[in-house]
Homo-oligomer: A and B are copies of this chain.
Amino acid sequence: MRVSLLDHGYLEAVTFWGSEEEIISAARMSTGKGFLGWGPFHHETCAYLHALIAYMEGSSDVASPDQVPCDCTPKPGDEKLLRYLWENEHHTPFEMAGATFEVQAPIFVFREWMRHRVPFSYNEMSARYTPLPDLNYVPSMERLALGSGSSKQNQSLGGKGLDREAAKEFRETLVAINLVIEGIYQKALRTGVPKELARLVLPVGRYSKMRVSSNLRGWLNFLKLREAPNAQYEIRVYAEALHKMLAEKFPRTLGLFEEGR
> Interface of A with B (CB < 8 Å)?
14-18, 22, 25-27, 29-32, 55-66, 92-93, 95-96, 98, 100, 106-108, 111, 114-115, 117-131, 133, 137, 139, 143-144, 147-149, 153, 155-163, 166, 169-170, 173-174, 177, 180-181, 184, 187-189, 191-197, 199-205, 209-211, 213, 215, 230, 232
Complex CA–CA separation, A131 to B192 (angstroms): 33
Contacting residue for A31 out of B18, B60, B130, CB 8 A: B130
Complex CA–CA separation, A129 to B159 (angstroms): 11
Q: Contact check, B204 vs A188: say whether CB atoms are below 8 A apart.
A: no
B residues near A148, Cβ cutoff 8 Å: 58, 128, 194-197
Complex CA–CA separation, A144 to B194 (angstroms): 9
B residues near A16, Cβ cutoff 8 Å: 17
Known contacts A30-B123, A118-B117; A131 and B63 CB within 8 A of each other: yes
B residues near A131, Cβ cutoff 8 Å: 63-64
Q: How far is the CB of A176 from chain B (nearest CB, A)?
A: 9
Q: Contact check, A157 vs B194: say whether CB atoms are below 8 A apart.
A: yes
Q: 11 additional contacts, CB 8 Å, given A59-B153, A59-B155?
A: A30-B130, A55-B157, A57-B156, A59-B156, A63-B158, A63-B189, A93-B123, A107-B111, A161-B192, A173-B201, A203-B203
